[in-house]
Structure 1
């Protein structure tokens, strides 16, 4: 279990992020075409998992925009934006914003992603949603960078995640 804050108030998550150097846990997520996607669907790519509570908040939307702009154009890289929002909401947001360098994935169906990555909120007003986090995975499926944002309303450290990605 990890403790983060929401506007200064402690909230807990289901575990901790995978350790750097470990194999990334598999996942089963739903894309905007309602297809199931797993980690193996992205085999051979560098991955940025941009994980957030809901696309309908300013900070979450900002992280999707920022990663679309910065990491979306890197070679052999996929940016996976993951939340428990419905795929329809994720699709609507990306279409309205003109974002096409990110892949939107939802944990609404399987609901195991948050448990497997240790970032499902288990207490507080966001219970059931995913904690704002970034996980970078190299082409061989190993975790090379993680960040669970301590204060949920803050944005992740884009620079550190991108540096890890470029040095992979």
Structure 2
């Protein structure tokens, strides 16, 4: 079990669990989508995936703005399947989809998958965010092998897009004519 800390304002919050890292196979999951359907990792087998955990889509930091920035910077890879996971209820996910569109993004809730937090090493243990998921991402190939992994140290930070792009270029080149830098 790994120990990590997320800086959230003045608070340094403990993050625990088994963070899957580069070279490992991403653990399976069964989570809930915005229509209350169960969705497993196996549903995306054969696709290159970017699995992202957020504090909440409603969070001012570590939420929707972080996701939108990530999508904007990676728009050169239309074949990349975005999977976004948070503790938000399926109803909140549905509202976020309605208000923000989020095309080509699968939104999943940990409502019926509470073991996800520990299996993915993103369980925030300390007040005021206890029980939420720390912002993290995994670039995963078609066979669920992790090509790149990041766990944020500060809720105000962005993901390291340069490192992520390097892993993407080696795996899923952007279509010709698309800018990737």
- Give the TM-score normalised by structure 2: 0.85
Runs of 5+ unmatched residues, structure 2: 172-181
Matched, 1:152 2:155: yes
- C-alpha RMSD of the superposition: 1.7
**In the aligned structure 2, how far is the partner of 1:128 from the partner of 1:12?**
11
The DSSP-based 3-state class of the residue aligned with 2:149 is strand
Deviates more, 1:133-142 or 1:12-21: 12-21
Q: 1:20-43 CA deviation, whole Å, 9 max, x = no partner?
A: 101111111111111111111100
Residue 123 of structure 2 aligns to a residue in which SS? coil
Instruction: List structure 1 segments (4+ residues) > 4 angstroms apart after TM superposition.
Output: none
1:30-45 to 2 correspondences below 5 Å: 30-45=32-47
- Matched residue, 2:60: 58
Which sections of structure 1, spanning at least 5 residues, go unmatched?
none
**Number of residues paired by the alignment?**
168
Bigger radius of gyration: 2
Q: What secondary structure is seen at the aligned counterpart in 1 of 2:165?
A: helix
The answer to whether the Cα contact below 8 Å between 2:139 and 2:149 also exists between their aligned partners in 1 is: yes
Q: Is the contact between residue 18 and residue 119 of structure 2 (CA under 8 Å) also seen in structure 1? A: no
User: 1:1-168 maps to which residues of 2 (within 5 A)?
Assistant: 1-59=3-61, 60-71=63-74, 74-168=77-171
TM-score normalized by the length of structure 1: 0.91
Mapped to 2, the partners of 1:41 and 1:73 lie a distance apart of: 24
